[in-house]
Amino acid sequence: MGDQYDLHRRARSLRIKQMSANLIPSLSKLFSNPITNFWVGYNGYLLGKSTGTLEYTPEFDVKDIIYTQDGTKAEDHVYTGSDHMVSLTLSEKVNENLFSLLVPGWEHAINSNMADSIIAKSLYLSLRDTRGSVLQIIAALPDGSPSEDPNDIITLYLAIPLIDSAIFKFGADQQQEMPVSFRCKTVNLGDLPGSSITSIIYNGKSISKVFGYMGSAASIGVPAAVIPDRSGPEVLSVSVSSATAMKVTFNKDLDPQFFGQGYAYSGDASGSLAAFQAANDVEVAVEIDNSGTPINVTGINTSGATGLNGVATILQVAIRGAGVSLDGVTVLYNSGKSRFEVISDSYGVSSQIELTAVSGGTGTNLLGASLFNGSTTVAGKNGIKTVTALTALVSNTSDQKFKTASSAAINGVNENEVDFTFGASSFAANDVITIFLASDLCADVNGNVNQSIGVGAVATNAI
């Protein structure tokens, strides 16, 4: 009996070892070791680290199926709906700007540097449409910084922030913090921006609806989440070209026409002049800044235009004259990109221009193949407004006076260079140039909003 028991025990031990040998160890820090801190990225912003526990919870609606009568329990179960819930507490960088991102009814002028906010009331608002965005859960490295290894990042395509408890806590023994729950929804692969993939075969299974992914989207075969670039332009260098001029080089191109503004652009319109010159009844519906009410602009006579820039001028006059809300819209023809651009005069993520055909219209559709050849809408960004929103101040080490630039313009050759002109100022060797950005959510990689850099000893002009 003892021998049989011992043999049975050894056989069972062998099976357990064989089973264990077939288990694949985790490659991600998210599963291999306990994680005490997670970074949270949402809608292109790094919100900071979560404090306490971060909970990632599948939430399923299950329908019980009863088709036998041999017991009291359901014979089967079927998923009828599912979400993924991410619950955490933020304690870093909690400010009005984050509230405006996460809390419905909290409005803050992100680009104005104001300390003021409005607590408003919003009813029947689709949070999927107005606040749903990409959520990232990022493991922290031993030094506390966020990991850049894709296997340490969970990316969820569509997360809706919900504040369902105390918005923040103040107290002598408590730091300011904000609990947030993100309700994460499934999306169709084919509905993701820029995606032509409707399904993938993963481990032999066809998948068309997904919450997100962990690791490299390319290696898995799913479309990568489109995460807005919210980082501000970082100053790389400053050089003085004359007694009243200097050049600032950034690490990214600044659009010479708009930065932070929403706009719509046409398809290739390089060959559309003849069609415009043959039209005297062009029409289009223009919706500005998600107003929900397109304004019909009809009867536009472009027959007298002598060039595509002239067409843009005619369209701008007509659009501005169609309603007070459109009187700041700009229309231009971008010859470098062979397209028309229609630009809102507002800034930030709510800034937008959407062009559609006039419902029931009888004129020539501006978006037709012979004219605009379609239209694409691009929402604005939270960041610096235009290049004119950049202010250069020159600090003189002897009298500590500051000189303000009289003008600033994108360098026509390199769009990551800004040329500043000073009316009656000059520069001394090793003066400090400070570039002020218009948003505290638009900083460089080190979190610096206002970036300072010395002009170097080559600047010999005296202030």
pLDDT tens track for 218-256: 888 898 898 876 665 667 777 777 767 778 787 766 654
The mean pLDDT of 363-380, rounded to a whole number, is 90
Would you state the pLDDT for residue 160? Answer: 94
Can you point out the beta strands (E) in 218-325?
A: 235-242, 245-250, 263-266, 282-288, 295-300
Per mean pLDDT, which of 33-42, 72-81, 201-210, 239-248 is the most reliable? 201-210
The mean pLDDT value for 401-413 works out to: 66
**What's the predicted TM-score (pTM) here?**
0.57
Give alpha helix (H) positions in 114-211.
127-130
Pairing outcome for strands 45-49 and 38-42: antiparallel
Asked if pLDDT for residue 443 goes beyond 60, the answer is no
- pLDDT higher at 360 or 336: 360
State yes or no: pLDDT of 350 exceeds 80: no
Evaluate whether 429 touches 239 at the Cβ level (below 8 Å): no
- Give the model's confidence band at 156: pLDDT under 50 very low, under 70 low, under 90 confident, else very high: very high
**Tell me, what's the pLDDT at 36?**
75
Of 108 and 188, the structure prediction assigns the larger pLDDT to 188
Q: How far is CA 437 from CA 95, 108, 217, 441, in A?
A: 18, 17, 33, 10
Does the pLDDT at position 351 exceed 60? yes
Q: Residue 375's pLDDT is what?
A: 92
pLDDT for residue 387: 43
pLDDT tens profile 48-81: 888 778 888 988 888 888 876 666 778 888 888 8
How large is the average pLDDT for residues 325-336?
88
Residue type, 283: E
User: According to the model, what pLDDT value does residue 315 have?
Assistant: 96
Higher pLDDT, 437 or 385: 437
Q: Quick check: 288 pLDDT over 50?
A: yes
CATH number corresponding to 22-220: 2.30.110
Give the list of residues 6+ apart from residue 226 with CB closer than 8 angstroms, or none: 134, 192, 193, 194
Q: Check pLDDT > 70 for residue 180.
A: yes
Q: What pLDDT was estimated at residue 429?
A: 62
What are the φ/ψ torsions at residue 241 (nearest 5 degrees)? -105, -20
Q: For residues 326 and 346, what is the distance between their CA atoms, to the nearest angstrom?
A: 11
Cα 90 from Cα 39, distance rounded (Å): 9
The pLDDT of 339-352, averaged and rounded, is: 82
d(CA 294, CA 430): 54
Give the model's pLDDT for residue 247: 80
pLDDT for 463: 29
Q: What number is the average pLDDT over the span 177-181?
A: 86
For the domain 235-257+385-454, what is the CATH code?
A: 2.60.40.1220
Confidence tier at 354 by pLDDT (50, 70, 90): very high
Handedness of CA 127, 180, 116, 406 (dihedral sign): negative
In this prediction, residues 322-337 reach a mean pLDDT of: 87
Tokens of 119: 């607590």
The rounded distance, in Å, linking the Cα atoms of 108 and 218 is: 37
**Residue 444 confidence (pLDDT):** 43
DSSP one-letter code for 309: H
In the chain, the percentage of residues whose pLDDT exceeds 90 is 25
Q: Between 378 and 432, where is the model more confident?
A: 378
Cβ-proximal residues to 116 (8 Å cutoff; 6+ apart), any chain: 108, 109
* 195-233: burial string, b at 16+ Cβ within 10 Å, e else: eeeeeeeeeeeeeeebbbbbbeeeebebbbbebeebbbb
